[in-house]
Structure 1
Amino acid sequence: MSESSPSVVASVERVPARRVLGLAVPALGVLAAEPLYVLVDTAVVGHLGALPLAGLALGGVVLSQISTQLTFLSYGTTSRTARLHGAGRRSDAVREGVQATWLAVLVGLVLLVAGQALAGPVARALSGSDEIADAAVSWLRIALFGAPLILVTMAGNGWMRGVQDAARPLRYVLAGNGLSAVLCPLLVYGAGWGLEGSAIANVVAQVVSAGLFFAALARERVPLRPDFAVMRAQLGLGRDLVLRSLAFQACFVSAAAVAARTSTEAVGAHQVVLQLWTFLSLVLDSVAIAAQSLVGAALGGGAARQARGVAGQITGYGLIFGCFLCAVFAALWSTLPHAFTSDPGVLGEIPHAWWFFVALQPIAGVVFALDGVLLGAGDAAFLRTATLLSAGLGFLPLIWLSLTFGWGLTGIWTGLSLFMVLRLGAVLVRWRSGHWAVTGAVREA
């Protein structure tokens, strides 16, 4: 393998925009489906009142952080499979998906058992309120049954993106989440199950989507038995991505805990704006998914110049997309929150977070795009260090100072803003250096 020199960063090859869009548009559907379903869920539960919404907020943060902690099953698998696919070794690439799926099942079952035992203590530790904790636990104990299936879906998305098959993951994820979006209001209101109905609808989504990914692997006609050597190699890349995810987990769980200790209305408002942030983060990440696949395949095939060209394209697309979203949500500030809640207290708290959320969109567009480039290159160690430092120097200190000094949502979202600015500086420097563009079918850990 060879590593490119920083002096040749300007020597690049671009790929047709149609090729980028052919991967990015279906990826947008996949990435948007889950948070869009959560937004529907938030809107349905939000009209039950502030307490059920606060319970969903807290339970949802815990469940999402469990899955976020294991993003290597998606992003790490894409990086490895894309390099093998670019080197002309498609069967080997699919076998990476088989082993990632085995890891998903094994780890998911452990999380299910541990989650059932720890749901109560974790919710009480985070909420600062027995009422909010009880509501969160009632939702979480049901939703946790979908945890192994969430991980299977992540692994399935990972290997399919790596072999540049963007259409099937979109169909599979839409099938599960579309059905659950219909079921959610029927179970919450029609069946009278309230917050628990939301959790059941969530599990239905995971069952349907994971079942389709299992079937897709079976049709590939590759060996389905576990290969522990490959799993160990995947865990080597996963180590850095897990540590990176831990930084996100510490930040967002801490933010939810501080919001819950501020007031029931504050945590409800934080849930609404955070879910919009999550939704738009993944929307912006759609072009980054294309970058992962294209950069990984280019480096696997020895085309470092093309990889650098894709990186520049994706960065430009992310900035433009982020500016567009900034303008749209600035215009919607007075109307959109009413779609998620009618509680006057929650609506009164939302502006304290809203304008941070809006202003961060252009920065997020560039950061998420370059995250995708570096993940596609397998540059997980750098991303780990950059994220840990940004969290430790930016987000976490301001979150806990907000609790101490009563800054509320304004302090929490100031911390998120500093976190994003620090990450922006780090990924821009790494991108310009060119040190990430290492060629070869497999990048050494």
Structure 2
Amino acid sequence: MRFPIGPAASEAGRSHDREIWRLAVPAFLALVAEPLFLVADSAIVGHLGTTHLAGLGIAGVVLQTVVGLCVFLAYGTTASVARRVGAQDLRGAIAQGVDGLWLAVGIGVLVTLPCVAFARPLVAAVGAEAAVGDHATTYLRIAALGITPLLLMLAATGVLRGLQDTRTPLVVAVLANVLNVVLNLLLVYGLDLGIAGSAMGSVLAQWLAAGALVGVVVRGARRHGASLRPDLPGIRQAGRAAVPLVVRTLTLRAALLVTTYAVTLIALDGSDRQATDLAAHQVAFTLWTFLAFVLDAIAIAAQAITGRTLGAGDAAGTRAVTARMVWWGVVAGVVTGLLLASASPFLGAIFTEDPAVRDLLVPVLLVAALGQPVCGVVFVLDGVLIGAGDGRYLAWGGIVTLLVYTPVVLLLHPSLVVVWIAFSAVFMGARLVVLVRRARSDAWLVLGAPA
């Protein structure tokens, strides 16, 4: 069966559009709100001193790595819950979500203890110097107590997305960010607790946000008669389903690390040029990541809608809405690409006063802009296959893509622009081939709810 890509002019197409954007817009706003926790902490801690801010940055790398690897708690839960929603089994859907919450608690406890106990070695492994390391260790030991609520927030958000609700996570994310700022100001400056106060404020806000989201799931469980007790077979099933999604995420992060490493190889004998390349790369990657939120919002809608339509046994409907989401992925990629290209001469001034970095940034951003339509298709199809529960294929596809991309980017690094061409054409292009090949087949169209 061919995989159609193109606009639909029918009423069914317009209905798909309304459903896609009903889910995607709140998801985008929630995705933008999530990084603001660390941004607010950075803005407040930055006024304590440079070493404090550097310490926060080191601790943030450790925390973001741990939590980022557990994004499967949201993605996998969305897919499994949505399937049961499509099969008209709300009780089973919420019970599946509760299993995800218990899995989040188990992982959170297992990860928190070593992060607290070995905070200093973890900080040292990142390469922090003495003064910076002290501040990083202080922050990490306290902030690690927020890992469990962060994982609960991921799992509960996945449950609500599976229930076709992306607005509740948005409201909670906004309120949590406001509370985080208030608590940070109060504890850091009002009570003069310094960087420790910033960590305490964030942890308190995270626990309250997790409590709010879990409370919504608990009310749904009671309303539909789903048990809140831990179900070991269900938790084990959720854990097994998570493994391929973890592999997928690891391959993506490895590709980003390889890209940054390739940038460091550009001018090993010239520190000035290397600093310029790394600075421009960091700015470009920051902007690329922000634009990815737009595309990832459609992917989140794809997870929820695909799971639901497959759970309902509607293969034709799944094909139709997938084609529509891919179309919108292309449109979003073209729009973001045009915006990035038109703004490329001016964006550098926001981030740096160095003219060399600004000049280098323009061609890099133009390359990134050209790759945005491909990113749009890749993000959407990734979401579709996650929603279909096709994690094993995504894991193997990620491994193949990484093996293809790594030697290319490490051998071809004469300039930062060439590295970004390799990233946009080879890495994203390989992902496009892997995902479109799967989407054109029928292997992922597994109908009905899991037994």
Is the structural similarity TM-score above 0.5?
yes
1:282 deviates by 2.5
Give the secondary-structure state (helix, strand or coil) at the position aligned to 1:374. helix
Give deviations 1:285-332, integer Å, cap 9, x for gaps. 111111111111111111000101111111111111122122223343
Question: 2:398 matched to which residue of 1?
Answer: 387
Inter-CA distance 7–334: structure 2 relative to 1 (3 Å threshold) = closer
Alpha-carbon offset, residue 442 of structure 1: 1.7
Map 1:98-177 → 2, pairs under 5 A: 98-127=98-127, 136-177=136-177
1:28 match: 28
Matching residue within 284, 290, 306 for 2:295: 284
1:66-109 Cα distance to aligned partner (Å, 9 max, x none): 12212221111111111100000001101111111111111011
AA matched with 2:395: R
The secondary structure found in structure 2 opposite 1:302 is coil
State the secondary structure of the residue aligned to 1:88. coil
Q: Alpha-carbon deviation of 1:378?
A: 0.9
Distance in 1 between residues matched to 2:22 and 2:427, nearest whole Å: 32
Worse-superposed segment, 358-367 or 238-247: 358-367
Whether the 8 Å contact between 1:65 and 1:249 is mirrored in structure 2 is no
Tell me the equivalent position of 1:427.
Answer: 435
1:85 equivalent to 2:85? Answer yes
* Equivalent position to 1:236, from 237, 240, 256: 240
Q: Which amino acid aligns with 2:444?
A: W
Asked if structure 1 preserves the Cα contact closer than 8 Å seen for 2:116 and 2:142, the reply is no
2:30 maps to a residue whose letter is: V
Cα distance, 1:111–1:192 mapped onto 2, change above 3 Å: same
For residue 301 of structure 1, what is the aligned residue in structure 2? 312
The structure 2 residue matched to 1:440, chosen from 431, 436, 448, is 448
Equivalent residues of 2:69, 2:246 under 8 A apart: yes
What corresponds to 2:385 in structure 1?
A: 374
Q: 1:303 to 1:110 in 2, by over 3 A?
A: same
Cα distance between partner residues in 1 of 2:358 and 2:191: 28
Distance 1:48 1:42, change over 3 A: same
SS of residue matched to 1:98: helix
How many angstroms apart in 2 are the aligned matches of 1:361 and 1:40?
29
Q: 1:315 to 1:56 in 2, by over 3 A?
A: farther
Kindly state the Cα deviation for residue 336 of structure 1 after the two structures are TM-superposed: 4.3
Residues 1:245 and 2:249 are matched in the alignment: yes
- Mapped contact 1:36–1:279 kept (Cα < 8 A): no
Once the two structures are superposed, the pairs formed by residues 402-417 of structure 1 within 5 Å of their partners are 413=420, 416-417=423-424
Could you tell me how far apart the structure 1 residues matched to 2:181 and 2:437 are? 42
Secondary structure of the 1:74 match is helix
CA RMSD of superposed structures (Å): 3.8
SS in 2 for 1:289: helix
Letter in 2 for 1:243: V
Question: CA contact under 8 A between 2:3 and 2:323: conserved in structure 1?
Answer: no
Superposed CA offset, 1:231-288 (max 9, x none): 1111221111011122133344566678799778876665554443333222211111
Q: Following TM superposition, by how much is the alpha carbon of 1:175 offset from its aligned partner in structure 2, in angstroms?
A: 1.3
Secondary structure at the counterpart of residue 324 of structure 1: helix
Trace 1:193-212 onto structure 2 (pairs within 5 A): 199-212=199-212
- Where relative contact order (Cα < 8 A, 6+ residues apart) is larger, the structure is 1
Unaligned runs of 5+ in 1: 1-5
1:247–1:388 contact (8 Å) kept in structure 2: yes
Per the alignment, do residues 392 and 101 of structure 1 end up closer, same or farther by CA in structure 2, a change over 3 Å counting? same
Say if 1:32 and 1:44 are closer, same or farther in 2 by CA, change over 3 A.
same
Given that 1:9 and 1:433 are in contact with CA atoms closer than 8 Å, whether structure 2 keeps it comes out as no
CA–CA separation in structure 2 for the residues paired with 1:269 and 1:72: 31
Structure 1 window deviating more from structure 2 (29-38 vs 88-97): it is: 29-38
SS of 1:439's equivalent in the other structure is: coil
Q: In 2, Cα distance between the equivalents of 1:336 and 1:42?
A: 21
User: Given the alignment of the two structures, is residue 311 of structure 1 paired with residue 326 of structure 2, yes or no?
Assistant: no
Q: Judge conservation of contact 2:329–2:380 (CA < 8 Å) in 1.
A: yes
Partner of 1:65: 65
Write the deviation string for residues 34-62 of structure 1: whole angstroms up to 9, x where unpaired. 13444555566678887666555543333
Equivalences, count: 434
Residue 53 of structure 1 contacts residue 268 of structure 1 at CA under 8 Å; is this kept in 2? Answer: no
Q: Which deviates more, 209-218 or 269-278?
A: 269-278
Letter paired with 1:280: L
Question: For the structure 1 residues 99 and 367, does the alpha-carbon distance in structure 2 shift closer, same or farther, using more than 3 Å as the test?
Answer: same
Distance 2:349 2:46 in 1: 10
Unaligned runs of 5+ residues in structure 2 are 266-270
Contact 1:243/1:384 (<8 A) preserved: yes
Cα 1:17–1:368 shift into 2, 3 Å? same
Q: 1:70 to 1:371 in 2, by over 3 A?
A: same
1:360 counterpart residue number: 371
Seen in structure 2, the aligned counterparts of structure 1 residues 128 and 210 have a Cα distance that, compared at 3 Å, is closer
Instruction: Give the aligned residue type for 1:441.
Output: A
Q: 340-349 vs 12-21, which deviates more?
A: 340-349
Q: Given that residues 3 and 439 in structure 2 are in contact (C-alpha distance below 8 angstroms), is that contact kept between their aligned partners in structure 1?
A: no
